[in-house]
Structure 1
Amino acid sequence: MNKLEDLSRQHDSISKISAGIVYALAVAIALNFFWTPGHIYASGITGFAQIIHSLSKHLPIPLATSVMYFVLNIPLFIIGWLKIGHRFTIFTLLTVLLASIMMRVIGPVKISYDPIICAVFGGVINGVGTGLALKTGISTGGLDILGIVLRKKTGKSFGTINIAFNLVIVVCAGFVFGWSRALYTALNIFINGRVIDNVYNQHQKMQVLIVTEKPKHIIDGIQNKMHRGITILHDVEGAYSHTEKTVLLTVIDRYDMYDIEKIVSKSDPYAFMSISQVTTVHGRFVEQKPV
């Protein structure tokens, strides 16, 4: 059992690292091949890093977008470490570091493209990379971490937070590059978001099956924090240990996975948990606001 768990964990880690590399390449290509030549800002922390770079051009040594992208994420790494989880934060840090390096290694092209092409292709390429990263359970830093934490604290949807931050970026694009570029920036942000949703599909429903010897603690945690219904199967037996166990069955939204994994690991570190994607849900299922 331990060997299987180790192999599963290694496979999961390799998948996360591979997705981090793909994202790093995607954001670097989008930034240096399309956004920078087209004078277009990205969404989230990448966009803020671009803004700082633009405002620092009059300095003796301009602040590079790649450097500022990493620096702006440092406070969010700390928040993620304290509020979300250590493993999650480590993979996020690695992903952001790889992206910063790729942004520096892959230099901006000198070719001048039509700004609409820059907005469309930049948004699509970055959206695919970000969506694949999120699909494997890692964060690309920035608003991902902030959204998870703020959702837990305030109950506000991530969509509201994302719109507020990106509105600031669009306005900055208007003042720095002109209002036509602000329109292209808004188009890029919209396309990027739609592609992320299509690749990641954060609204997927996930069926969670938990086999545990401490059902009460897990049930209390899920009902108190996540407000989800649970089906309880009593008097089941483990074939290997022949000990009495309880099976818990619930359906959650994909963005609730961090919460339920934390609840289960804290309540019963030896519990078995299986999570699978659900195609359709009928009956009483409360749709909660996504992060």
Structure 2
Amino acid sequence: MKSKNETCDQKLKSDVKKEIKILIFGLIGALIMAVNIKSFVHAGGLYPGGFNGVTLLLQSIFENFFGITLPFTPISLILNAVPVAVSFLAIGKRFTVNTTVIIVATSIFTDIVPAIPITHDILLISIFGGIVNGIAVSLCLIGGTSTGGTDFIAVFFMEKKNTDVFNYILLGNAIVLIIAGILFGWDKALYSIIFQFTSTQMIHLLYQTHNKVTLFVVTDHPERVYEIIREVTHHSATELTATGMYSQQERGIIYSIVSRTEAKVVIRQVLESDPHAFVNVVKTDMFTGRFYMDDIH
């Protein structure tokens, strides 16, 4: 039997590991995004989605029409101020603070990373720049944070409403592209659509949290299984009591809905903890009710 101090120590170590993971994934994603902006986006004169695209558009407007060169960081931080405040109230304090760190890091990296164009072929820039951007965003989301701006909206709907809205955000970015097209030419705006579409598809490929499955775990150690599910997914579970018809022995059934990627980790750890457990995974297309993550608050 573990003492209360041992349990607290384990929880503290788990929280520290989680925060380190968030920071590492987020900073790598921020650096990749900054390099992408300086190497691909600037070279092609493109306008990526979200507030980064708005920031770049404002930089172009001030530089071309007023002869003023604005740094990336202050514009990005001002634009993200409102979403950060809303996220703090609607999504969670921990998630918002971590995302704010990534927003600041991305802005600073973008200002200090040297511009090294890899290619000047605008079609290649649109495709591969979009792929790299999707990888950067996905790294942040997988780590447990985001790149800010419209990602706050995406995370809110995924975690609170279990709805994937990345394609709707892509449509919302059309406003920025229309302005860019009117001011700087429609070719750049149309190539930016390719960039954003490629980025969105890359996020769908790498980030699978919105794809849910239902786990039914028949076990003699339901508490142990629940702790694994809680540790891996930060979601709760429901315990049912059942009787094995062949053995006539009473067993527990743990029922929980998790993401497809989380399910693989949970199943592996459950079978390591209880080799005699029986696990059934069912594809889940729709569900309603309270389904919030406890680690983003």
1:191 corresponds to which of 192, 198, 207: 198
Cα RMSD over matched residues? 3.5
- The separation in 2 between residues aligned to 1:24 and 1:64, in whole angstroms, is 17
Is the 8 Å Cα contact of residues 213 and 282 (structure 2) preserved in structure 1? no
The letter for the 2-side match of 1:38 is: G
1:124 aligns with 2:131: yes
Q: What amino acid sits opposite 1:17 in the alignment?
A: L
Other-structure match for 1:42: 48
- 1:106-159 Cα distance to aligned partner (Å, 9 max, x none): 133467611112212211212111111111111111112123446789997523
Partner of 1:200: 207
Provide the residue aligned with 1:88 in structure 2: 95
Q: TM-score, normalised by structure 1?
A: 0.72
d(CA) in 1 for partners of 2:89 and 2:155?
12
Given candidates 64, 69, 93, the residue that maps to 2:76 is 69
Partner AA of 1:135 in structure 2: I
Check the 8 A contact 2:213/2:281 in 1, yes or no. Answer: no
Partner of residue 140, structure 2:
133
**Equivalent position of 1:217 in the other structure:** none
For residue 189 of structure 2, what is the aligned residue in structure 1? 182
Structure 1 match to 2:291: none
| Displacement after TM superposition at 1:6 (Å) | 1.1
Residue 153 (structure 2) pairs with residue 146 (structure 1): yes
Deviation digits for residues 22-59 of structure 1 (CA, Å, limit 9, x no counterpart): 11111111111111121111111111111111122233
AA partner of residue 90 (structure 1): V
Alpha-carbon distance, 1:66 to partner:
3.2
1:158 and 2:165 aligned: yes
Deviations 1:156-208 (A, max 9, x none): 75235403321112223322332221221011001111112222123333567
Looking at structure 2, the residues matched to 42 and 287 of structure 1 have their Cα atoms a distance apart, in angstroms, of: 31
Moved more, 20-29 or 151-160: 151-160
The alignment status of 1:250 with 2:240, answered yes or no, reads no
> CA–CA distance in 2 between the matches of 1:45 and 1:8?
33
Question: Counterparts of 1:33 and 1:191 in 2: how far apart (Å)?
Answer: 17
Output the amino acid matched with 1:5.
Answer: K
Q: 1:34 to 1:207 in 2, by over 3 A?
A: same
Aligned length: 245
In the alignment, the residues of structure 2 paired with residue 166 and residue 54 of structure 1 have an alpha-carbon distance, to the nearest angstrom, of 17
Query: Residue 110 of structure 2 aligns with which residue?
Result: 103
Answer whether contact 1:38 1:115 (CA < 8 A) is retained.
Answer: yes
Structure 1 window deviating more from structure 2 (1-10 vs 154-163): it is: 154-163
Asked whether the equivalents of residues 73 and 104 of structure 2 are also in contact (C-alpha less than 8 Å), the reply is no
Q: Aligned with 1:276: secondary structure?
A: helix
Residue 287 of structure 1 pairs with residue 277 of structure 2:
no
Higher Rg of the two aligned structures: 2
Secondary structure of the structure 1 residue equivalent to 2:266: strand
Q: Return the letter of the residue paired with 1:287.
A: M
Q: Which residue of 1 aligns with 2:13?
A: 7
What is the distance in 2 between the residues matched to 1:151 and 1:51?
28
AA in 2 matched with 1:184 = Y
Tell me, in whole angstroms, the C-alpha distance in 2 between the residues paired with 1:194 and 1:168: 20
Tell me the percent identity: 24
2:38 is aligned with 1:32: yes
Deviation per residue, 1:217-256 (Å, 9 max, x gap): xxxxxxxxx9x9x753359xxxxxxxxxx9852214579x
Structure 1 gaps, min length 5:
213-225, 236-245, 258-274
Structure 2 segments unaligned to the other structure (5+ residues): 1-6, 225-234, 243-251, 269-278, 289-297
